[in-house]
Amino acid sequence: MRARERGARVKIAGALDALVRASRSGAPTARLAANLRGAWLEHGDLAIEIRPSGLIVDGRLAVPADAQAARWALPAFMVGARTLALAPPLEAPDLERFAEALARLEVEEESLRAFGDWLFEDGAEGLAVELHASFVEVLEHAEAAFDAARGVRAARGAAALPTGVTQPIAAVELDRAALLPELGVDIARYADDARARRFELTGADLRELEDGASDPAAWSRAELRAVLELPALRSLADPHDVSRRLLAWLRERVEAPALAMVTGLLGADDAAGRRVAAALDPRALAGAILEGLRFEMPTEELGDLLAVAPAPLARALLHGLLAEASRRADARYFLTQLAYSWPPQRWVEVWAPDAIEPEQARALTRVLLGLGLDALLGDALEALPAESAAAALEAMDPEQLPAHERAIERLASQGDAGVSTLVGKMTGSTAPQVRSFVGELLRRHDTLPWEPREFSRACRHLALDESGRDVLVELSRSTRLDTRLRVSALNALRGDPERQRRASAWRLRELMEPPELRAALKRIRQTSASAALEEA
């Protein structure tokens, strides 16, 4: 190891001692702890040995103990602490807490016991402390060992154990035990099973038990439930730690108890609950819920949460759900179910429609239609941005569109191209009221930049009834309409010679019409004349 690196490692021990001294004197420790953390993480393999004489690094005395420096080394050694090493993740506050505990340490039995308990209880988070027997335990052992030695000699056969156990065993006792129904002792069966090796564990069994018993997520969930459900713990909890664990749980899997906990926290009237609720960032919480949500779960708990959630949280959740619903049928179904447990006016309160994307709008429309909330849908369409409103309308059946005339009118008056698509969609309906609505729409908005193909299809659709053909006559003669569209309207009248004649009747104004229209009119008139001649 190079001298420079060795020096850096020695400095880490010095920095730890400096942190302890700062903590003892009440000086600020945050910066010292952060620096120590950074330096120690750079030398992750460093283990600081503790001896009464001081701190040892790489086999050398790095910080000699005296009345000031490494004063804590002796009591820590007495507790049984031998080495300190990193056990990441390590945060600066972990080091501050550790230094605080060392600063309080005195060569006094109660202080030593408390520190030893704290270490054994994993209080030194982020650090691995090698813990031997404390001096007090050494004495206890020494005092008790004599009797133990006698017992061990007996067990090894050097002397008889207490006489009771050497008496013949009363089989009658076992028979009586077997008769107790709650015990159901069946020695013979146990022996048979044991001889048949039915109690053996496979490697897979062991791994399963190991995985289950050490599953950090399961522990974290159980601890979180304990902390949040038991007021005695809740008042002691670190709100940020609780918040972090709660988010981790939700991210992994949204379960009813977790949602119920969040709901309880948002409505908590105790100071501790409010502290934790304040530590929950709405966006992060919504993100965690959306990440861990499985759409097969019941919706009641999420509905309860949405009912009390502050608007930013409810909004983020709603938008996230809508985004999922735009992609997945199960999410759509989930959202529909959810809406049953959530008052409709809440949607309007929280949803911030101006931020709803077209895909979300489609999903929202399907959900609201599924719920039969047409009125709410009307409000929604008016509040959505034009592109999203168009997308929402597209998600409807053509027969439903005339009921949302206001929304379509708004789009049309804004010159939104989506109206063309809507018209095209409506041409798929044979319902007279839909056709009539299309006609009115085309007539009222003849200045719109209609998409030619959709317009042409709409014209053919209008040609199917009398009133529609009247509209076509109007359209064909409208000078505000694009020439290609007027030609489409004219062409659509092909099956109605009378109206076609009206549409193509010569006017002085025709001289100012674009050539292609004039050509089309001329062609129609010629065709009409030929037809008349043939007829004559």
Partner 1 sequence: MSRAAVVHELYVAMRAATRYGRAHPSTEAAATRLAEAIEAASPPFALQLVGEAVFADRQLLPLDLDAHRRAMEVARAAHALQVHELSFSVTPSRSEAAALAGALADGARGREGALEELLLRSIGWREIPQADWGEESQEVDPEIFAVTQVSLAVADAAGLGSHGEWRWSKGLAIVRRLERALASHRVAAERTLEANDLPWTLARRSVSAARLAENALSLLRLPSSARRATVHAALMIAASGLRERGGLPLEEAAAAALDRALAAAPPRGRISPHRVRAVALLRALAADGAGDLPAAKLVALTYRVERDRRPEGASFDLTKVDLLSAAAADETVDGAWLRLVINAEGVLPPGARVVLSDGSPGLVMGPGDPMDAWRPSVLVAGRVVIPDAPVRLGGER
**Considering only residues 114-133, where is the footprint of partner 1 by CB under 8 A?**
114, 117-118, 120-123, 125, 132-133
Cβ pair 95, 128 in contact under 8 A: no
Q: Which is nearer to partner 1, 66 or 466 (CB)?
A: 66
Does 151 interact with partner 1 (rule: CB under 8 A)?
yes
Closest CB 95 distance from partner 1, rounded Å: 15
Q: Which is nearer to partner 1, 237 or 361 (CB)?
A: 237
Site for partner 1 in 282-341 (CB under 8 A): none
Closest CB 209 distance from partner 1, rounded Å: 6
Q: Extract the tokens encoding 431.
A: 């319902």
- Quick one: residue 218, left, alpha or beta (phi over 0 = left, psi -120 to 50 = alpha)? alpha
Residues 6+ apart with CB under 8 A from 425: 394, 398, 401
Closest CB 104 distance from partner 1, rounded Å: 9
Calculate the CA dihedral of residues 492, 494, 495, 497 and round it to 10 degrees: 130
Q: Which span sits near partner 1 by CB under 8 A: 22-30, 140-148, 271-279, 494-502? A: 140-148
Q: By three-state DSSP, how is residue 128 classified?
A: strand
Q: Which is nearer to partner 1, 271 or 505 (CB)?
A: 271
SS3 percent helix, strand, coil of the chain, rounded to 5, is 70, 5, 25
Q: Which is nearer to partner 1, 49 or 446 (CB)?
A: 49
Q: Which span sits near partner 1 by CB under 8 A: 13-21, 104-112, 309-317, 416-424? A: 104-112
Cβ pair 323, 311 in contact under 8 A: no
Q: Which is nearer to partner 1, 27 or 177 (CB)?
A: 177
Does 138 interact with partner 1 (rule: CB under 8 A)?
yes
d(CA 234, CA 230): 6
Sign for the pseudo-dihedral over CA of 337, 340, 346, 348: positive
Q: Which is nearer to partner 1, 212 or 372 (CB)?
A: 212
Site for partner 1 in 165-194 (CB under 8 A): 165-166, 168-169, 171, 173-178, 180, 182-191, 193-194
Cβ pair 428, 398 in contact under 8 A: yes
Site for partner 1 in 208-247 (CB under 8 A): 208-210, 212-215, 218-219, 221-223, 225-227, 229-230, 232-233, 236-237
Q: Which is nearer to partner 1, 120 or 506 (CB)?
A: 120
Q: With CB under 8 A as the rule, give the number of residues binding partner 1.
A: 100
Site for partner 1 in 437-476 (CB under 8 A): none
Q: Which is nearer to partner 1, 151 or 310 (CB)?
A: 151
Residue 61 — φ and ψ, nearest 5°? -70, 110
Q: Which is nearer to partner 1, 105 or 367 (CB)?
A: 105
Q: Where does 328-451 have alpha helices with state H? A: 329-340, 344-350, 358-371, 374-383, 386-394, 405-413, 418-426, 432-444
Sign for the pseudo-dihedral over CA of 40, 46, 50, 54: negative
Closest CB 254 distance from partner 1, rounded Å: 15
| Strand ranges for 65-102 from DSSP E | 81-86
Residues 6+ apart with CB under 8 A from 432: 465
Site for partner 1 in 41-80 (CB under 8 A): 52, 65-67, 71, 74, 77-78
Tell me, what amino acid is at 494?
A: R
Cβ pair 371, 402 in contact under 8 A: no
Closest CB 355 distance from partner 1, rounded Å: 37
Does 108 interact with partner 1 (rule: CB under 8 A)?
yes
| Residue from the set 28, 30, 31, 113 that interacts with partner 1 by CB under 8 A | 113
Q: Which is nearer to partner 1, 180 or 533 (CB)?
A: 180
